[in-house]
Structure 1
Amino acid sequence: MSTASQVATHEPPAHPAIGAATSLLDAYTPGARFLATPRHTLLAHGTAHQVPHGERPVDERVADTLADAVAAGQKSPVVIGAIPFDHTAPAALSVPAVLRTAPPLASDPLVALPAAAPGPVDWHIRPVPEPEVYAAGVASAVERMWRGEFSKVVLARTLELTSPSPVDLPAMLQRLARRDPSGYTFALPTGPTRTLIGASPELLVSRRGQRVVANPLAGSAPRSADLAEDVRRAAALLESVKDLHEHAVVVDAVHQALAPHCSELTVPSRPTLIRTATMWHLSTTVTGTLATPDVSALTLACALHPTPAVCGTPTTTARQILTETEPFDRGYFTGIVGWGDDRGDGEWVVTIRCAEAEERTLRLYAGAGIVAASEPEAETAETAAKFRTFLSAVGAEL
């Protein structure tokens, strides 16, 4: 991927993989756009072209914006940003004025250096809804599934954290990125004083030339600090009938969405495991070859979104259930973050393990896939485990 513009801030390292990616991480300041993936580390400043809001599909508006950038003389322009869960709501997508790129964070040996531990902060934490209310919502959804109304819904809850002082976004990003450098870490402005920040493990879809990759995750178990217990939990997840069913539903939806665009598509018959610092996930890597080269990564992402992993199935019914049950607007949570270029290549990620920061407040999000075999207490515990990614990054505890 080419840069729109390159800014040198230090002497080049002895080896391009040593310090190149972490220097971009270190250079992040609020208002900039940072995105680290297994392919690239990106840091963007300023806005050359803003993707406008409108009734036309977002992938078409992005394509037009990139074409405008090319017409204005920008070489190899790239759009970076975030799309809300409700894809008809305004997105935060733009072509930056200055884009710096580096190899992946995981390839930089300096990423192994630990981030500074969070200092003492007197966080005030307010759960929305309360855990017992969330559990009651899960129980109600399970009852309706047994009546045959739908087969899965993803229900989320939030934690609202308030600090006496402004949120330290660069320090938080350092801790998220260095804890899981092989994942997808981002800090993207979504408003004049708001930043979407997170570390997602889930690739929605990527495109490089005619090669397409999707990596749906569904079915989870919290990690354990005890090695033997951690291995036991991983093995149990691989054999869990409930989680395997939940995962199969998502993989089938991904297969059905990608098939019309691909001449070849490979879907493994059984999932494998991936791990983050806090969770085990069932994972399937779906690979394919585009039938035509004019389908962009973002077009594929829009065809996939929302998968049953973040919404449920049937989609229309699941959307209605979560609207009735969740007492908050998801905003960018379970939306899409990523980048795309004027050739159609790109990486688009499911926006989970994230928070929205604004001045002294953080709103954390976590969801769980609810199926007929779900138990309210277990699903509430799963969301609590997913909150750990962020709580540890800010030095807070439930």
Structure 2
Amino acid sequence: MTTAYQAPAGTHADTPAASPSSLLAAYRPGPDQAFLAGPHSTLLARGALRHVTDPARAAEALEEARRTVGGTPLLVGAIPFAPGRPARLFVPAEVHRGGPAAEDPAFLLPARRAAAASGRDWTQLPVPAGPLYAEAVAEAVRRMRAGTGPSKVVLARTLELTAPGGADLPAMLARLIHRDPGGHTFAVPAGGAATLVGASPELLVSRRGRTVVSNPLAGSAARSADLAEDIRRAAALLDSPKDLAEHAFVTDAIRRVLEPYCEELTVPQRPTLVRTAAMWHLSTTITATLRDPSVSALELALALHPTPAICGTPTDRARELIAELEPFDRGLYTGAVGWGDADGDGEWVVTLRCAEAEGDGLRLYAGAGVVEASDPEAELAETTAKFGTFLHAVGLEDTK
């Protein structure tokens, strides 16, 4: 079914929803299309009534759309990592909604999984190369131990993939959903002819009515194909002082940001474990009730961004070190991607496990949280494991 600005799936019992697989089949990469699939709903946005590069103008754009076309308009797209850089947001002319992708039988069929593989011959170029990334981690640790660095910094690296014809994005999205059906899979415009595509495990913030939820992830371990080893790694992560400290940085920061906006704020004392196909993560689900119902999900996302999970702490010192040690521009990576509507509801996830596709190229991103107790080789291995999500999506399985 096609409905402009219909309310979130499930709020109108008499409004049938399209199947997530049919929405993916209808998706065509471009500057005015977006596809978002999450644990609760799937969304396909088409056409642009207005592009928004400054998130501070989002409410204005939504109210203008409400006046001109009625209903409850949405804003979809991505917010960059660095302040002052342009956001890639738009108010779509059409919004098509479906239920959770994990409940669509089409994504469970083995034949569909096989068909989604690209089969292309990709060349790979890590930037920086593994040894140089390990050196950057070691330098960050040296500064922390000397008292001249931040308490935590997230250092990232990229993997440049190139193949004639580039990526088949709908096929990649199908494989990403197959691999982690409970995650947040997305494809949104990234400026010009580029598309940001990914499958993030981390909810930055959602708002439905006055209910606010944030699910920070920090502290990770690679999965193992051996069941006993996989369980051992999960148990070790849950008992790791280094990873528990890294996780505490994030949950404490989110609590401090949300407290002025919320009441009945609930933060569990210890994290639990969540898993993706490639990684174990320490996870805390924070819930709260909004004090002022006029505060939108996007406003909360902007207040929370960047969390220590993707930048570090203190934020300014971590940003400075990232700019010094990372030999590339993050762009939209470690920003936020999602949707928000004119009533203030919305869902924004941290832009992780993602790649930027343009022409023949696909730039993958992966990062690791560095604290004083970090081991450079272990952080390098973590980024390699995180690349696995996308390498699987394009038919590759490993890198250096």
Same fold at TM > 0.5: yes
Tell me the amino acid that sits aligned with residue 294 of structure 1.
S
> What is residue 11 of structure 2 aligned with on the other side?
none
Q: Who is 1:23 aligned against?
A: 22
Q: CA deviation at 1:255?
A: 0.3
Q: Distance in 1 between matches of 2:294 and 2:244?
A: 35
Cα distance in 2 for residues equivalent to 1:172 and 1:263 = 41
Q: 1:180: how far off?
A: 1.1
What secondary structure does 1:72 align onto?
Answer: helix
Shift, 1:110, TM fit = 2.7
The percentage of counterpart residues that share the same residue type is 62
How many Å separate the matches in 1 of 2:373 and 2:118? Answer: 41
1:109 CA displacement: 2.8
Write out per-residue CA displacement over residues 28-84 of structure 1, whole angstroms, 9 at most, x where no aligned residue: 22222100112210011111122244xxxx2x3110000000111231100000011
Q: Is the 8 A contact 1:4 1:74 kept in 2?
A: no
Shift of 1:16: 6.2
Q: CA deviation at 1:3?
A: 4.5
Distance 2:307 2:228 in 1: 33
8 Å Cα contact 2:5/2:94 also seen in 1: yes
On the 8 A contact 2:214/2:287 being kept in 1, the answer is yes
Moved more, 23-32 or 147-156: 23-32
- Give the 3 Å change call, closer, same or farther, for CA 278–233 of structure 1 in structure 2: same
CA contact (8 A) 1:271 1:283 kept: yes
CA distance in 1, matches of 2:330, 2:314: 19
- Are the counterparts in 2 of residues 152 and 308 from structure 1 also a CA contact under 8 Å? yes
- Corresponding residue number in structure 2 for 1:156: 156
Deviates more, 1:248-257 or 1:168-177: 168-177
Question: Structure 1 residues 344 and 117, CA, compared in 2 at 3 Å: closer, same or farther?
Answer: closer
Task: Give the distance between the partners of 2:95 and 2:294, measured in 1 at CA.
Answer: 25
Q: Can you list the C-alpha shifts for 1:238-277, whole angstroms capped at 9, x where unaligned?
A: 0001000000110000000000000220000000000011
Distance 1:37 1:117, change over 3 A: closer
- For residue 372 of structure 1, what is the amino acid of its counterpart? E
Report the equivalent of 1:299. Answer: 299
* Distance across 1 between alignment mates of 2:372 and 2:355: 29
Contact preservation (8 Å) 1:4, 1:78: no
SS in 1 for 2:77: strand
Q: What's the TM-score, normalizing by structure 2? A: 0.93
3-state DSSP of counterpart to 1:328: coil
Partner in structure 2 of residue 84 of structure 1: 80
Q: Which residue of 2 aligns with 1:98?
A: 94
| Cα gap change, 1:141 to 1:185, in 2 (>3 Å) | same
Question: Which residue of structure 2 aligns with residue 48 of structure 1?
Answer: 49
1:10 equivalent in structure 2:
none
Whichever residue aligns with residue 65 of structure 1, its letter is A
Q: How does 1:77-226 map to 2 (within 5 A)?
A: 77-114=73-110, 115=113, 116-149=115-148, 150-226=150-226
How many Å separate the matches in 2 of 1:74 and 1:52? 23
- Following the alignment from structure 1 to structure 2, what is the Cα–Cα distance between the partners of residues 117 and 39? 23
Uncovered stretches (5+) of structure 2, i.e. residues with no partner: 7-14
Tell me which amino acid in the other structure corresponds to 1:62: A
Please tell me whether the aligned partners of residues 116 and 172 of structure 2 are also in contact (alpha carbons under 8 angstroms).
no
In the alignment, what sits opposite 1:37? 38
Native 8 Å contact 1:3 1:77 kept in 2: no
Paired amino acid for 1:98: E
Which residue in 1 is equivalent to 2:242?
Answer: 242
TM superposition shift of 1:340: 0.3
Please tell me the root mean square deviation across aligned C-alpha atoms, in Å.
Answer: 1.6
Q: Normalising by the residue count of structure 1, what TM-score does the alignment of the two structures yield?
A: 0.93
Distance 1:117 1:106, change over 3 A: closer
Q: Are the equivalent residues in 1 in contact too, given 2:166–2:362 (CA < 8 A)?
A: no
User: Do the aligned residues in 2 keep the contact of 1:366 with 1:386 (CA within 8 Å)?
Assistant: yes
Q: Deviations over 1:180-214 (max 9, x none)?
A: 11110001111231000000000000000000000
**Number of paired residues?**
383
1:171 maps to amino acid: A
Residue 89 of structure 1 aligns to a residue in which SS? coil
- Structure 1 residue 144 displacement after superposition: 0.6
Q: Work out whether residues 337 and 348 of structure 1, in 8 Å CA contact, stay in contact via their aligned partners in 2.
A: yes
Deviation at 1:119, TM superposition (A): 4.1
Distance in 2 (CA, whole Å) between partners of 1:364 and 1:166 is 13
Q: Please give the alpha-carbon distance, in whole angstroms, between the structure 2 residues aligned to 1:71 and 1:52.
A: 21
Question: Does the Cα contact within 8 Å between 2:3 and 2:96 map onto a contact in 1?
Answer: yes
- SS of match in other structure, 1:385: helix
Looking at structure 2, the residues matched to 66 and 16 of structure 1 have their Cα atoms a distance apart, in angstroms, of: 25
For residue 253 of structure 1, give the secondary structure of its aligned residue in structure 2.
helix
265 and 112 in structure 1: CA distance in 2 versus 1, 3 angstrom threshold? same
2:119 aligned partner, one-letter code = P
- The corresponding residue for 2:266 is 266
Distance between the aligned counterparts of 2:283 and 2:22, measured in 1? 31
1:63 aligns with 2:85: no
Amino acid of the residue matched to residue 329 of structure 1? D
CA contact (8 A) 1:3 1:76 kept: no
1:164–1:360 contact (8 Å) kept in structure 2: yes
Return the letter of the residue paired with 2:344: G
CA contact (8 A) 2:161 2:361 kept: yes
Contact 1:340 1:346 in 2 (8 A): yes
Q: d(CA) in 1 for partners of 2:178 and 2:44? A: 16
Task: Please give the alpha-carbon distance, in whole angstroms, between the structure 1 residues aligned to 2:342 and 2:170.
Answer: 30
Superposed structure 1 runs of 4+ greater than 6 Å apart: none
How far apart are the structure 1 equivalents of 2:3 and 2:82? 30
Report if aligned partners of 2:156, 2:368 keep a CA contact under 8 Å in 1. yes
